[in-house]
Amino acid sequence: MVFADLFFLYFFLPVCLICYFITRSATIRNLVLIVFSMVFYAWGEPVWVAILLVSALVDYVNGRIIEKHPDGAPARLAVAWSLVFNLGILFGFKYTGFFVENLNAVTGLGLTVPKIRLPIGISFYTFQTISYTIDCYWGKVKPQKNFLKFLMYVSLFPQLVAGPIVRYSTIAAEIEDRKTTIKDLSEGFSRIILGLGKKVLIANSLSTVVTSLFGDSDSGYEAINSLSVLGTWYGAVLVGLWYYFDFSGYSDIAIGLGRIFGFHFDENFKYPFVCKTISEFWQRWHISLSSFFRDYVLYIPIFGKRRKYGGLFLVWFLTGLWHGASWNFVIWGLYYGLFIMMEMLIGKKRMKKMPVPLAHIYTKLVIFLGFGIFYFEDLPQLGRFFKALVGLNGNPVADAYTANIFMGNIFLFIAAIVFSLPIIPKLREKAFAKPGSSYIFQSAGVICNALILLASSLLLLNNTNNPFLYFRF
């Protein structure tokens, strides 16, 4: 089941809310969330629920072992088992085919490449349970004694299938005791509508334009072969905007849903395109993932010592690989790691002295080129993308085809740029600062929310399949 679906919006969610708020019992409310989360996850693929349940049970038991033997060998074995089990099932489902394929390429063995379907959300909930076990071992959180409460944490449908990766420490207190205020309901529903608009009105439209420029995996990305230089750069920019609105839209819906149920998830996106360095970009983009690797991988001793650049290489190799079993993702991760290492060598003080216009030009070139790398999973076509960027494919700098697509989608492009920047929040802040203007602005906000919901619902009538990009990761 997906959020951008009329069945979810107008049946599943209302029924869930009625069952949740009809009682004040915290125990029953927790059970309601577990049941609806299981239904949500099982929708279309019920077999994968078993893996989710086993994963939750394994790390619940690991937490209890750590609680009883905090400083002994059993605790260390519990952490080791958590890593082996969770990373093992993640590797088995996500990377087995990729591994065999590359083994065949290197050795010529000719082994059969298995076609294994990836359980939705496995990259997210395995990282959540790993972080829980490690935090228990480090003493950052107290192990959860009630399995149903822990299962609710792991399976919460707002963030189950595509994040954000919610740390147990973030909502531990709210698992035990939470309440939903009128403000929570108001801001929660507003956030859901905002995320829905990002996905349905902007991201879906951008994806259509990108496909017309680059093609897609189904067509073999053939369109890139005839694209002009400006068309290639324009497409790369649109890919970045598309991914931003799709994934941040999902995160907005997840955060809004959590808020309605009394949970306060951390932000996952903070207007990343305003960044002046690549390091800052990753402090604003997919924050839950970048912070996970920073906290649990960056300082891992390599060959017995903590190695600054070795840890950095490992983090960005894994960041790329986490996104998919394809070499373009590994290249993408190492590409960002290279620029972050370069900024580390230059130093924060010197980076801050860079003229602001130059800083924005530098970061946007790096970021949007990176999104091009991310998009082309086929390496030969990725090579053609690089050639097209500088005209080495023999095509012109500009062409009528790109110009027509640009002019035909100019308002979409402008809207995407405007809404990817913190312009509206700043206008809202200024409006609320004026005496007597808050009521007018709140009324305008309600009207805008109603229009966004109406427009999104009308578009969803003719589009029954709206998976979010990060479902496949």
Q: Which residues of 226-248 are buried (b: 16+ CB within 10 A; e: fewer)?
A: ebbbbbbbbbbbbbbbbbbbbbb
Contact between residue 374 and residue 238 where contact means Cβ atoms under 8 Å apart: no
Token output for 74: 């059993």
Q: Which residues lie below 8 Å from residue 10, measured CB to CB, with a gap of 6+?
A: none
Token output for 82: 């958590």
What is the Cα–Cα distance from 242 to 417, expressed in whole angstroms? 11
User: Hey, CA dihedral for 282, 284, 286, 287, is it positive or negative?
Assistant: positive
**Single-letter amino acid, residue 62:** N
- 30: region left, alpha or beta (phi > 0 left; psi from -120 to 50 alpha): alpha
Contact between residue 163 and residue 124 where contact means Cβ atoms under 8 Å apart: yes
What is the Cα–Cα distance from 414 to 266, expressed in whole angstroms? 29
Q: Which residues lie below 8 Å from residue 380, measured CB to CB, with a gap of 6+?
A: none
What is the Cα–Cα distance from 366 to 460, expressed in whole angstroms? 34
Beta bridge partner(s), residue 302: 305
Token output for 470: 């990060």
Q: Which residues lie below 8 Å from residue 384, measured CB to CB, with a gap of 6+?
A: 221, 224, 225, 393
The residues that are catalytic are: 323
**Single-letter amino acid, residue 189:** F
What is the Cα–Cα distance from 187 to 178, expressed in whole angstroms? 16
384-391, long-range: CB within 8 Å, 24+ apart, which pairs?
384/221, 384/224, 384/225, 385/214, 385/221, 385/224, 385/232, 388/224, 388/227, 388/228, 388/229, 388/231, 388/232, 389/229, 389/232, 389/233, 389/236, 390/229, 391/229
**Single-letter amino acid, residue 145:** K
Q: Exposed, middle or buried, 447 (CB in 10 Å: 0-12/13-18/19+)?
A: exposed
